[in-house]
């Protein structure tokens, strides 16, 4: 059974920080590019960031560039999303996904596996 599990979400005040984790089981993460996506109520899913299988290439959406950082530790079969300077508009369910290639990750299509998500709420 293949599974991706996100963790680290919660309630945080504007300007605060959170670090999300995405852990894989049943398959080898090091063979996949990994992406983070989010979806707020009433809105379409938005691609946030992607990282290549070896970690040498990263991409960010304009909305989060300079505030969020993606990283991975293949030895731990885990990817991370460090979120700083959080804003109320960052409130959403955050998902990670495994893609065959970095190029596929950036498009947002053709993912092999999806996690079930973790909720991030930015509010005073």
- How high is the pLDDT of residue 2? 86
- How high is the pLDDT of residue 124? 93
Residues 6 or more apart whose Cβ sits within 8 Å of residue 75: none
Left, alpha or beta for 84 (phi > 0: left; psi -120 to 50: alpha)? beta
pLDDT above 80: residue 42 = yes
pLDDT above 90: residue 1 = no
Q: Which two tokens stand for residue 111?
A: 């993912």
Q: Which two tokens stand for residue 54?
A: 């070896």
Rounded Cα distance between 28 and 18, Å, is 26
Left, alpha or beta for 66 (phi > 0: left; psi -120 to 50: alpha)? left
Rounded Cα distance between 93 and 102, Å, is 22
**pLDDT, tens only, 44-62:** 999 999 999 999 999 999 9
């Amino acid at each position: 059974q293949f599974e991706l599990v996100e963790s680290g979400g919660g309630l945080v005040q504007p300007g605060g920080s959170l670090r999300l984790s995405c852990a894989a089981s049943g398959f080898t993460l090091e063979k996949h590019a990994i992406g983070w996506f989010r979806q707020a109520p009433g809105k379409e899913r938005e691609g946030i960031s992607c990282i290549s299988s070896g970690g040498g290439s990263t991409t960010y959406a304009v909305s989060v560039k300079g505030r969020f950082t993606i990283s991975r530790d293949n030895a731990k079969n885990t990817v991370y999303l460090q979120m700083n300077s959080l804003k109320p508009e960052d409130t959403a369910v955050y998902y990670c996904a495994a893609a065959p290639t970095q190029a596929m990750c950036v498009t947002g299509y053709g993912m092999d596996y999806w996690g079930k998500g973790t909720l991030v709420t930015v509010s005073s």
